[in-house]
Amino acid sequence: MSINTLDTPATSTPQPDSWETRIENAAVFLGIESQQVETLLKELGVEKDPAGMEMLSDEEVTPFGDLRKIFGDDLNIPLAKVRMAMKHLRGPKDSKKTDSLDPELVKLQNKYGVEPELSHIPTEQLLQDYHADKPDHPITLVLKERLGDKAVIVFKPDSTEVDIEATANYIADLEQGFNEEELIESQGKLVRLIPVGREPVGIVNEDPMFIGHPLKRDRSTFNRVNWSDVDLSRKQFVRLIVEAGEINIYDKRAVRDIMKDVNEGVEAGFGNLASTYPEVHLQFRERSKLNTLPPLVMSMKEASTANIQNPFGIGQNR
């Protein structure tokens, strides 16, 4: 019995999704060299590491119009071929988008390499990216493994900011055989040493919008706004907006609109605020140089005296 090969569907092992595969397949349809494809993508800020594939998969980051320009308009490649190439550049439909990436991981990859060998990085350097409030952060885990449960982290007085120099010096002293201590001086004041992965006792974050009131698990006790993914600079910018009287913090729509800008990410969010509030941005830059930006931390004693029994601001002046 003969087999009609024309009626038998061809089967092949699918290619693994990789940067090289996407570039090579796209180059075939574009009729150019793979290296040229990578060079043109680089002009858009898209490179293999640390997040090139994710950037290509996300149409918001790399819209077709931008890619059509560099391949179609600039190289006169027929549009149909560009569209076919795009299917390969985008990758499988289930490919990750950039919003699924951990910004901290991207930051570490940019600073220490695509597969950072953090265990080889000196402690003083790691402390620059240490987050006491993130016990599962890669740097926290490395420092924890390296330093154990010893109280070695020095925080600046009444702050959640690590005193890197004092911490590094204390760790160096321990390595030379000096005895452990409970208290150490930072900026002329005595502070308690804290183990890796723990925050200073008695210090809480202050609500950027409601002056003198603490956040509870990174949420406002007044309007339930979640600040957990907002970095300090954006929080400080919002506080300056409040201090300048540029927003009614009791207007739900106004709060929602400003938080929409804030939550777009570190660079985009800050850029949105700077564009909308140029005078406040000027004040932010000036106060940043003078190191007088609001720290947005407070003691538990201060927090206990604040009115935190009124989570929705009932009876507050509006």
For the CA atoms of 130, 135, 139, 143, what is the dihedral angle to 10 degrees? 90
Cα angle value 82/99/103 (rounded, 5°): 120
**281-315 pLDDT, tens per residue?**
999 999 999 889 998 888 766 666 654 444 444 43
267 alpha-carbon distance from chain centroid: 9
Residue 9's pLDDT band (boundaries 50, 70, 90)?
very low
Task: State which H helix or E strand residue 27 sits in.
Answer: helix 19-30
Tokens of 210: 């409601």
Question: Confidence class of residue 210 from pLDDT cuts 50, 70 and 90?
Answer: very high
Handedness of CA 160, 261, 277, 44 (dihedral sign): positive
As a whole number of angstroms, the distance between CA 277 and CA 26 comes to 43
Inform me whether the pLDDT recorded for 115 exceeds 80. no
Mean pLDDT of 249-256: 94
DSSP three-state, residue 127: helix
Q: What is the pLDDT of residues 138-169, one digit of tens each?
A: 888 889 999 999 999 999 887 888 999 999 99
Instruction: Identify the band that residue 64 occupies on the pLDDT scale cut at 50, 70 and 90.
Output: confident
pTM of the model: 0.43
pLDDT at residue 180 is higher than 80: yes
Rounded CA-CA distance 188/186 in Å is 5
Taking alpha carbons only, the member of 222, 225, 201, 224 closest to residue 297 is: 201
Q: Where are the domains of the chain?
A: 19-99, 106-195, 203-305
Mean pLDDT of 244-267: 90
CB atoms within 10 A of CB 64: 14
CA 296 to chain centre: 19
Tell me how far CA of residue 244 lies from CA of 138, 241, 268, in angstroms: 38, 5, 22
* pLDDT band for position 95 (cuts 50, 70, 90): low
